Amino acid sequence: MTTRTGLLVTTLFLTTLTHAVIAEQAIGLELTADFYSKYIWRGQNLNDDYAFQPGAAITYGGLTAAIWGSLDMTNINGNAGEFTEHDFTVDYSGDVPGIDGLGYSVGVIHYRFPSIGHTTELYWGFALDAPLNPSVTVYHDIDEINGTYISLGLSHSIDKIVELTPGLPVGLEIGASLGIGSSDYNKGYWGVNDTRPNDLAFSIAFPMEVAGWTFAPSINYVTLISNDMRRSDAYARSSDYFFTGLSLSKSF
């Protein structure tokens, strides 16, 4: 699909969402700031060293508009102190009528990489409010890749596992996801022309609230499942990653 056609689809999509939430009045703002010892995205090692990833989101009823970026903190990629990615997202989320506990999300993400170009994905997904909170999200690239990536997720959270000091409880959040790429997606990103599972990810975070901000240190593990992707050496690095993170967020 050409960029012009992709922009037309995006414009129509945003117009539809705007009309869908015009009656909503609640407006909110969320600020985030994440630090990671590596930047791994869908099994791809985009930065093998520290990255700072700030973001901001405005909500209006079920509609969210967000901007996010990734800044290299070291010179391992030759980009110390520079943003290597900017993402712009519009999302609409709500509950599926008539099905208790089932939520849905639809949206569009525009990725801009200053050094290599840009691309756009549409996505849609469902999440069930049930034990392990199963979810499925489908991302379809309508621009450079024209392929599909499916993410299957499970998660569980506990409000308090320990109290560091009186009034300072620490929670627990556990998450796992499996990514599956279509043949076009895998060919575009990995040079592997086949539909197959791509990556498996696990995370453990320990959120706590301090001075109105939520702090969440985390431990993360990501591995590539496909041996062909490992052998493709598309990113010239290891295919198994342990890394740490610290996420900060505040809602207004």
Domain count, the chain: 1
3-state helix, strand, coil in the chain (%, to 5): 15, 60, 30
Phi, psi of 19 (to 5 degrees): -65, -30
Q: Could you tell me which residue, 114 or 161, shows the higher pLDDT?
A: 161
Cα angle 121, 59, 35 (rounded to 5 degrees) comes to 70
Confidence of residue 115 (pLDDT cuts 50, 70, 90): confident
Q: Cβ atoms within 10 A of the Cβ of 82, count?
A: 13
Query: What mean pLDDT comes out for the span 207-228?
Result: 94
Per-residue pLDDT at 15: 53
227: left (phi over 0), alpha (psi -120 to 50) or beta: alpha
Confidence of residue 19 (pLDDT cuts 50, 70, 90): low
Over the stretch 135-173, which tens digit does the pLDDT of each residue have? Answer: 999 999 999 999 999 999 999 999 999 999 888 999 999
pLDDT of residue 179 exceeding 90: yes
Phi, psi of 64 (to 5 degrees): -130, 135
| Burial status of residue 58 (CB atoms within 10 A of its CB: 0-12, 13-18, 19 or more) | middle
Range of the structural domain that residue 71 is part of: 3-251
Confidence of residue 239 (pLDDT cuts 50, 70, 90): confident
pLDDT of residue 3 exceeding 90: no
Q: And the tokens for 222?
A: 């990501």
Per-residue pLDDT at 174: 98
Query: What mean pLDDT comes out for the span 237-245?
Result: 89
Per-residue pLDDT at 153: 98
DSSP letters of 187-251?
A: HHHHS--S-EEEEEEEEEE--EEETTEEEEEEEEEEEE--HHHHHHTTTSS-SEEEEEEEEEEEE
- CATH number of the domain within which 92 lies: 2.40.160.40
Q: Could you tell me which residue, 17 or 199, shows the higher pLDDT?
A: 199
Residue pair 66/32 in contact by the 8 Å Cβ criterion: no
DSSP state of 96: P
What is the average pLDDT score of the chain?
90
Cα angle 178, 104, 215 (rounded to 5 degrees) comes to 65
Over the stretch 35-80, which tens digit does the pLDDT of each residue have? Answer: 999 999 999 999 999 999 999 999 999 999 999 999 999 999 889 9
Confidence of residue 232 (pLDDT cuts 50, 70, 90): confident
Q: Could you tell me which residue, 117 or 118, shows the higher pLDDT?
A: 118
Of the candidates 233, 150, 141, 137, which has an alpha carbon nearest to the alpha carbon of residue 198? 150
Confidence of residue 226 (pLDDT cuts 50, 70, 90): confident
Q: Could you tell me which residue, 210 or 11, shows the higher pLDDT?
A: 210
Residue pair 36/243 in contact by the 8 Å Cβ criterion: yes
Task: Name the percent of the chain lying above pLDDT 70.
Answer: 88
Confidence of residue 23 (pLDDT cuts 50, 70, 90): very low
Query: What mean pLDDT comes out for the span 189-217?
Result: 95
Query: What mean pLDDT comes out for the span 94-114?
Result: 96
Per-residue pLDDT at 233: 65
